[in-house]
Every structure is written in C-alpha cells, then in structure tokens.
Amino acid sequence: MTLRPVPGGARHLRELRRSLTEAPEAERRSRLAGIAAAIRRRNLAMILRAGMGHVGGDFSAVDILTVLYLLVLDCDPERPRDPERDRFIQSKGHGSGALYATLSYAGFFADAELDTYMAPLSPLGGHPDCRKVPGVETNTGPLGHGLPFAVGAALAARLDGSPRRTFVLTGDGELQEGSNWEAALAAAHHRLDSLTVVVDRNGLQQGARTEDTSGLEPLSAKWEAFGFTVRAVDGHDHEALRRELSAPPPPGRPRCLIAATHKGHGVSFMADRVEWHHRVPTAEEARRAMEELQR
C-alpha cells in the first residue's frame, strides 16, 4: 500500500457514525446531505484537476457509498485488511472518483492524495487498484467482475463461521455481462444471505439508455427468478438506504437492492444525460456545478 490511513481516522469515523446514528432523523438527513454534497464537490474537483473521469456514474453512486461507509460497513480505516471487516466491492470500477472521495472522507487516506487522481504514478488510477488503495478489495474496471468475487467472499465468511457481510455495488448497464448471472445462480444455490447486491439503477450506460441498448427490465423479476430477495430503494435517499442496507436480510437468500438513481445526480444540467458519462465540465459548467453542490 502506498497510501496511509489518516491518523486517528478510525476513532473519528466511529464517533461520526455514532453521532449520526443517534441524531434525530431530520438532523441526520441534513448532515448526510451536507456530507454527500462535500464528497461530490471533492469528486468534481478531482475530475477537473485530472481533466478526465466518469462524473455521471460517480454522482449516481455517491449517496450509496456515503451511507455504506459512514453508517453501514463494519470497517476500520486504520486496519483496512482486518480479516473480520465487512467486504464492500465496487464492481463499477469506473466510479473510482466517488469511491476515492468517500474512502478519503472516511479516513482511509489523506484528502490531499485525491489531488493526484489519474496523475502519472498516482496510486489513484482511473480504476481502483487493491494493491495500492486501502479499502479496495479487488481490481475492477472490466465489468461483471464484482459479483463473482463477492460470492467467493461470502462463501469464505460462511466457512469461517463469521457474521461479516458482503456488499457489492454494480452498475445497471454492467448487468449485461453474463458473469453476473453465473454468480447470481451460485449465490442463490449456496443460500448466501450475508450477500447484498446493490444495483445503481440510473438507466444509462456509456452510449445510451440501458433499455435502448440491451434492455434489463423487468429487472426486479429477473433477480427474483434467480433466487434473490429484491427490494427497491431510492438510491439518493440516505434514510431509505440506511434502513435497507442495515436491515438483516431474510435468511436463506441473497439480497438485491435496486437503487433508483440518476446519473449525474446533484447537478441539474448533468442529471440523466448520457453525455455526462465521462464528459469533463468546462470552467463555466464547473462553476455552475459547484454552486449547485453548495446547497
């Protein structure tokens, strides 16, 4: 690992989690909205500095990542390889900007490191490298790799008799990769109820809408047919995400949360527009985007 955890980061994350958990719902909502907006601003600044990135997919996932790292995952930024950690695998590796900004916010490495995003020799490449970035479990980037890994991670937990959980975040377009469905069969066959798949269902892939490319609907019925317990959730509603992700899954079945999201969420002129898959804002667009993200 070339990146080091923020000193005192574990304690800070624990206290932040406790205070958020204990706060009244309205306060928690407000604070989480502020945190997610800060992560988006940092994420956008990284992209502007790098002159590259996948802002659309980053922003559709930021709220899911925020809730996972700040409220759900049993993880310790100062002991990122703790064997008993919950596993989180971001299968949509191109959403690295959102992942790095969230990991840094959670204390896995210093904020200043984000300024090297995609710069020559930076550990923070365009797709995450588990050998360089603490908190990253496996290398993703090619699509359809996260769920098979997560099935193996959940099987290992069962063999250990461990209560640790496994979460995997997939894009929706990447569900066109057949490897996901191979793994879905195996997950249900092995009754992996410690496994949760979160689908970032923003409806857009690189070139067009998923439904105009190779349609996924009825998506919920597909996961159900594959043996998953399926839940729909608003992927930008922190409280709803917290409830769904924290709830113990029904025994005997893996779980799929279909998170309704908007690509480019948080910036009005990016939201739900396919060209923002990997467009980099102009200076004027960046100014307007930052303004909107100030709330």
Partner 1 sequence: MTAAPASGPAEATTTPTHDCRVAFAATLLDLAAADPRVVAVCNDSVGSSGLGEFAARHPDRLVNVGIAEQAMVGVGAGLAGGGRIPFVCAASPFLTGRALEQIKADVAYSRANVKLCGMSPGLAYGALGPTHHSIEDLAWLRALADLTVVVPADPAETAEAVRWAHAHDGPVFLRVGRTPVPALTPHVPFAPGRAAVLRRGEDVTLVGVGTTVSLLTEAADRLALRGVSARVLNMSTVSPLDERAVREAAEDTRGIVTVEEHTVRGGLGGAVAEAVVTHRPVPMRILGVPGVFAPTGDPRFLREHFRITAAAAERAALDLLGRAP
* Closer residue to partner 1 in complex, CB, 120/178: 178
Out of 178, 283, 284, 294, the only residue in the binding site for partner 1 (CB under 8 A) is 178
CA distances from 137 to 130, 152, 160, 170 (A): 6, 12, 18, 14
Q: Cβ of residue 251: shortest distance to partner 1, in angstroms?
A: 19
AA identity, residue 170: T
Q: Are residues 200 and 259 in contact, defined by beta-carbon separation less than 8 angstroms?
A: yes
Question: Looking at 40-48, 71-79, 95-103, 182-190, which segment touches partner 1 (CB under 8 A)?
Answer: 182-190
Q: Residue 186 interacts with partner 1 (CB under 8 A)?
A: yes
Q: What is the nearest approach in angstroms of partner 1 to the Cβ of residue 168?
A: 10
Find tokens 């996948």 and name the residue. Answer: 54
Strand partners, 201: 260
By beta-carbon proximity to partner 1, the closer residue of 63 and 174 is: 174
Figure out which of the listed residues 4, 79, 189, 287 binds partner 1, where binding follows CB under 8 A. Answer: 189
CB of 177 to partner 1, least distance (A): 8
Place of tokens 């989180």: 88
CA dist 55 and 206 (Å) reads: 12
User: Is the backbone of residue 264 left (phi > 0), alpha (psi -120 to 50) or beta?
Assistant: left
Query: What is the C-alpha separation between 40 and 224, in angstroms, rounded?
Result: 33
- Measured CA to CA, the distance from residue 211 to residue 222 in angstroms comes to 15
Residue 181 or 279 having the CB closest to partner 1: 181
Interaction of residue 179 with partner 1, rule CB under 8 A:
yes
Residue 176: other Cβ atoms inside 10 A:
17
Is 160 among the residues that bind partner 1 (CB under 8 A)? Answer: yes
- Residue 41 C-beta: closest distance to partner 1, Å: 31
Per-residue x/- mask for partner 1, residues 127 to 156, rule CB under 8 A? --xxx-----xxxxxx-xx-xxxxxxxxxx
Beta carbon nearer to partner 1, 63 or 177? 177
Q: Between 168 and 199, whose beta carbon lies closer to partner 1? A: 168
Site string for partner 1, 84-123 (x = CB under 8 A): ---x------------------------------------
159 touches partner 1 by CB under 8 A: yes
Cα 5 to the center of its chain, rounded Å: 20
Q: Which of 91, 71, 95 is nearest to 21 (CA)?
A: 71
The C-alpha atoms of residue 117 and residue 181 are separated, in whole angstroms, by 32
CB of 199 to partner 1, least distance (A): 17
CB of 128 to partner 1, least distance (A): 10
Nearest distance, CB of residue 23 and partner 1, angstroms: 34
Q: How far is the CB of 263 from partner 1 (least distance, A)?
A: 24
Angle between the 238-246 and 55-67 helix axes, to the nearest 10 degrees? 60
Measure the CA–CA gap between 3 and 105, rounded to whole angstroms.
14
Q: Taking contact as CB under 8 A, which single stretch among the options 49-57, 108-116, 186-194, 243-251 is the one that binds partner 1?
A: 186-194
DSSP line for 158-185: HHHT----EEEEEESGGGGSHHHHHHHH
What residues line the site for partner 1 (CB under 8 A)? 83, 87, 129-131, 137-142, 144-145, 147-157, 159-160, 178-179, 182-183, 185-186, 189-190
